[in-house]
Amino acid sequence: MDEQTPTALTQLPSWLLTQSAAQASRIVTESFGAVGARTYHFRLLATLVEFGPASQAALGRHSSIDRSDVVAALNELEADGFVERSPDPADARRNIITITTAGKRQYKRLTTLAGKVQEEIFAPLSATDRARLTTILAKLRTYHQGQ
């Protein structure tokens, strides 16, 4: 730990978590940016791959992205040919978003990149520690989402 950081902070798991999250976010953002992508792109493509075509609102809920940010990111993905919008036959006011073949290829590229980024971020941890950390973070996320 940095000698300049007060012990009162370095002993708080919440402080360590926010500091680590900020560092991880920077690394992820820079890595995705280097290939012309954003983390929102990966999150939306992953959601479409796993859940199939969906409304913009459903994509936002599944990927934990604010509705206005979903629209902006989808505009970018659509401009790059990674997704297509079409009117929902059940409700003409709503669009259904579908991943394209090019979008599936981009998702695979970003998945590979995300794996490399995980290796960089978690390099000091063993495989066992990484699995334990993932379990703990998932438990915290689930708990706080339910409140």
Separation between Cα atoms, residue 106 and residue 41, nearest integer Å: 9
Percentage, residues of the chain above pLDDT 90 = 91
Q: Given a cut of 90, is residue 44 above it in pLDDT?
A: yes
Separation between Cα atoms, residue 133 and residue 138, nearest integer Å: 8
**CATH code for the part of the protein at 16-145:** 1.10.10.10
Separation between Cα atoms, residue 69 and residue 87, nearest integer Å: 20
Looking at residue 3, its pLDDT comes to 76
Question: What average pLDDT does the segment 9-37 reach?
Answer: 96
Q: Given a cut of 60, is residue 87 above it in pLDDT?
A: yes
Looking at residue 90, its pLDDT comes to 87
- Mean pLDDT of all residues in the chain? 95
Contact between 84 and 78 under an 8 Å Cβ cutoff? The reply is yes
Map out the domains of the chain as residue ranges.
Answer: 16-145
Can you say whether the dihedral through the CA atoms of 67, 38, 79, 86 is positive or negative? negative
Question: What average pLDDT does the segment 89-110 reach?
Answer: 95
